[in-house]
A and B are shown apart, each in its own frame.
Chain A
Amino acid sequence: MPPRAAFPRAAAAAVGDARLRANLRHATHTIRAKRAAAVAELPDWELLRAAGAAIKDRTLRHLDHYLPRLEEAVTAAGGRVHWAADAAEANRIVVDLVRATGETEVVKVKSMATQEIGLNAALAREGITAYETDLAELIVQLGDDLPSHILVPAIHRNRGEIRDIFARRMGDWGRPAPEGLGDTPAELAEAARLHLREKFLTAKVGVSGANFMVAETGTMVVVESEGNGRMCLTLPETLISVVGVEKVVPTWRDLEVFLQLLPRSSTAERMNPYTSTWTGTTDGDGPHVFHLVLLDNGRTDALADTVGRQALRCIRCSACLNVCPVYERAGGHAYGSAYPGPIGAILTPQLRGTGTPLDASLPYASSLCGACYEVCPVAIDIPEVLVHLRERVVQGGQVTLRGTRTVIKPARGHAAERAALRAAAWAFDHPGVLRAGQRLAARTLRLHPRRLPGPGRAWSDSRALPEVPAESFRDWWLRTRGERDSHEQP
């Protein structure tokens, strides 16, 4: 991901894009009510949610126990396990594995981890073409675009735009779109089916992520809808799965929690159309070579933060995006990461650090309304982590960066704010001073501007300022009930 403008600027541009806002509003509002209904069907939802959080916490607190067990189980079942400390190492491993097959094309299942590490670009640099096969990823790839949503990477596109992209670009990548392609979802899905079928039938190498990995059995789980996942997981001879280390769960039984939480939170279905599980390799069924690349790339840095750690519970359902009023208006691209929305605002600054203006602005990309926490199926208290990361941005302090403990300085650009809040805190801690200030404000009423200068302009451009009343509550009380006032402290 190229470093881009800090969130507020990118978001402001998106707010001004009427079509983008209409697309996002339509899509997110469509899914909200459906999710609520799917969740309401399960009276034990809160217990499932608590269990999901607890299982993830158990795993994270003992990750050094579960990962070697997973490795052992995968290996025993015929798979090969590789470990990648960062994106560059993961990409190198995958490039080498593809090269060893002699192939120059791979088919891909939608995967957040490979988006995060920029795998497609790394493969392209080595002359290997990666074909995205998820419908939305295909739209993004054909449109030379970036994903803007975890579940629906092309959520920022409406059907008309998708039709245009297919008609214009499919021919450059393979089978062209049918003549006179319409814009109904059924026609668009049919065009994708025809375009990709040839790739599926000839592909020798598949690349995927995974939703879950079971330490006890070495089983990998991929949850999907379209069947492109099944194609990539079962037709090629070689399968390479790149998976974040936090995706491990302890036991087979634990899936009973997550396979209930994920589909209802994600696509608002009782169950997603297809779920594939595989354990190593199986004679006569599916790829006969299976590689698992376990990815750190900042995850252990997040693990080292006892408040921020909970972000690693995330099962990538995207429910938090769909309810977020900020995401709905800013769009996914403003977050400058594979992980947009509320979860991105806490995950990205932990995975990448808060060193760039963009990453330092992400923890502020929220009004702290709490809707994300309410819908999170693994109870990640996103507002709590946002505030925690704001503290890291403005106060600095001890963090872990690429495995090394270091002390970071406060981010630049917060000096005026720090001074103002410190002054406010000081005044609040001295009610006498506060009262003097209130009285001064009341006496100078006529001098108050209707619009504020400087940073305050951002407020008064769209919102009128309230009038400061002539008498504060404090003074009213003193005037009317002063005799009862027990103890005023200086």
Chain B
Amino acid sequence: MSSRDLILARIRRALTDVPRSETPADVPVDRGYARTHGERTAAERVALLAENLADYRARVHRTDAAGLPGLLARLLADRGARTVLVPAGLPTDWLAKTGSGTGSASGAGAGAEPGSGSGTARRVVDAAERTPRELAAVDSVVTGCAVAIAETGTLVLDGGPDQGRRRVSLVPDHHVCVVRVPEQVVDSVPQALDRLDPARPLTWISGPSATSDIELNRVEGVHGPRTLDVILVAD
């Protein structure tokens, strides 16, 4: 007998108290819990997102489409980023004021090309052949997101064109995530799951990397990005 058959047989023997006629749907699950915790206008929802992001030590910035390139350039410049990793599908105008050059991450330290805007960070476009070590050599990463959850202060990335591979938002030490508000913001976890496709690999991010492993106190900054900038871009 295979272990598969053995385990399934053990399960059936273990469940002799379950009537043969019972189906999974016969076991009641009361879904009377809340879909959202509170009624909010779109503006209130965005405000709550900002509040909860900040509560978990993300740095929150607000701007509009016209202001985005300048803000991004400033954040990267303030950080002193010489290179910035971008997913292949990141809208090109986002970094219009940063640096226009592209190149290999391994050359990151070899002097940045002058950019067309106010920032100087050189753009590094992610590609399948980039090794983890190349990604680790990049200073910052900019991505979009799929959904943001106001009640928990969570960003969800689903690998869409402006987000790229999961490792892109993981390996560099500084992550700038752009959220289009209000349309990408939902109130709650149940609403977020509704919007997401389980077939895609998802990364849910709530603040920078953290640990509670030393004396059960939360401290920020272990293996993931230690700085998380979130830009809420209004229509």
Contacts and interface: CB of A to CB of B under 8 A. Distances in A.
Note whether A and B contact each other (Cβ less than 8 A): yes
Contact of A234 (B166, B204, B205): B166
9 contacts: A42-B37, A63-B15, A64-B8, A64-B15, A77-B199, A255-B193, A275-B202, A296-B10, A304-B15
Given A227-B222, A234-B166, A273-B208, A47 B201 contact: no
B170 A152 contact: no
A405 B149 CA distance: 49
B198 to A, nearest CB: 4
Contacts of A83: 2-4, 6-7
Given A189-B222, A234-B166, A197 B215 contact: no
Contacts of A217: 198-199
B167 A235 contact: yes
B110 interface: no
Contacts of A186: 219, 221
A219 to B, nearest CB: 5
Contact of B14 (A42, A58, A271, A400): A400
A133 B212 CA distance: 14
Contact of A57 (B27, B167, B201, B208): B27
Nearest to A90: B3
Nearest 10 interchain pairs by C-beta: A227-B224, A304-B14, A227-B223, A275-B204, A58-B27, A226-B222, A271-B152, A300-B10, A136-B213, A47-B33
Nearest to B9: A403
Contacts of A322: 216
A271 B159 contact: no
A306 B189 CA distance: 33
A386 to B, nearest CB: 21
Nearest to A48: B33
Interface residues of B, number: 75
B78 to A, nearest CB: 21
Given A154-B213, A189-B221, A284-B128, A230 B199 contact: no
Contacts of A26: 215
A51 B31 contact: yes
B7 A139 contact: no
A190 B28 contact: no
A306 B207 contact: no
Given A64-B11, A64-B15, A135-B213, A231 B198 contact: no
Interface string B174-208: 00000000000000011001000011111111111
Given A235-B132, A270-B151, A286-B201, 9 more contacts: A26-B215, A47-B34, A51-B31, A83-B4, A231-B170, A271-B153, A274-B224, A279-B200, A300-B10
Contacts of A276: 166, 201-204
Given A63-B11, A282-B159, A256 B215 contact: no
A225 B219 contact: no
Nearest to B13: A304
A93 B120 CA distance: 51
A72 B153 CA distance: 34
Interface string A274-309: 111111001011100000001010001101101000
Contacts of A278: 201-202
Interface stretch (B17-25, B62-70, B90-98, B138-146): B17-25
B206 A190 contact: no
A400 B193 CA distance: 39
Interface in B26-77: 27-34, 37, 52, 56
Contacts of B223: 133, 192-193, 196-197, 200, 226-228, 230-231
Contacts of B201: 234, 276-279, 282, 285-286
A253 interface: yes
B51 to A, nearest CB: 11
A47 B131 CA distance: 46
Contacts of B11: 63-64, 67, 245, 300, 303
Interface string A13-31: 0000000000100111011
Contact of B219 (A77, A154, A189, A253): A189
A274 B203 contact: yes
Contacts of B213: 134-136, 139, 152, 154, 226
A336 B6 CA distance: 29
Nearest to A272: B206
Interface in A247-263: 250, 252-253, 255-257, 259-260
A152 B215 CA distance: 9
Contacts of A303: 10-11, 14-15
Contact of A285 (B14, B166, B211, B219): B166
B170 to A, nearest CB: 5
A375 interface: no
A185 interface: yes
B123 interface: no
Contacts of B3: 83-85, 89, 296
A277 B214 contact: no
Contacts of B166: 230, 233-234, 276, 285-286
A242 interface: no
A61 interface: yes
A192 B29 CA distance: 43
Contacts of B199: 77, 217, 279
A23 B23 CA distance: 48
A467 interface: no
A197 B15 contact: no
